[in-house]
Amino acid sequence: MWSKFSMDELSSQSDCALRNGEHKNERQDVDTLFYRALFPESAASAPEDEDEIQVRDKQTLAWLRDYFQLDTDLVKLYSEWSEKDSVFRETVKDRFPGIRMLRQDPWENVVSFICSSNNHIGRITKMVQSLCTAFSDELCSLSTPHDGEETSTTVSYHPFPTPKQLADDGVAAKLRELGFGYRAEYVQRTAQILCEEHEDPEAYLKSLRDLPVEEARTELLKLCGVGPKVADCVLLMSLDKKAVVPVDTHVHQIALKYY
Catalytic one among 229, 241, 242, 257?
229
Region of residue 200 (left: phi > 0; alpha: psi -120 to 50; beta: else): beta
Long-range contacts of 196-204 (CB under 8 A, 24+ apart): 201/107, 201/163, 201/164, 202/105, 202/106, 202/107, 202/162, 202/163
Length of the chain: 259
Rounded to whole angstroms, the Cα distance separating 164 from 135 reads 11
Q: What is the maximal distance between C-alpha atoms in the chain?
A: 60
Residue 164 is a catalytic residue? no
- Strand 32-38 vs strand 23-28: parallel, antiparallel, or unpaired? antiparallel
Cβ contact 60:24 at 8 Å = yes
Cβ contact 142:173 at 8 Å = no
CA angle 202, 208, 213 (to 5 degrees): 150
CA angle 113, 69, 31 (to 5 degrees): 110
DSSP type of residue 5: E
The residues annotated with a catalytic role in the active site are 229
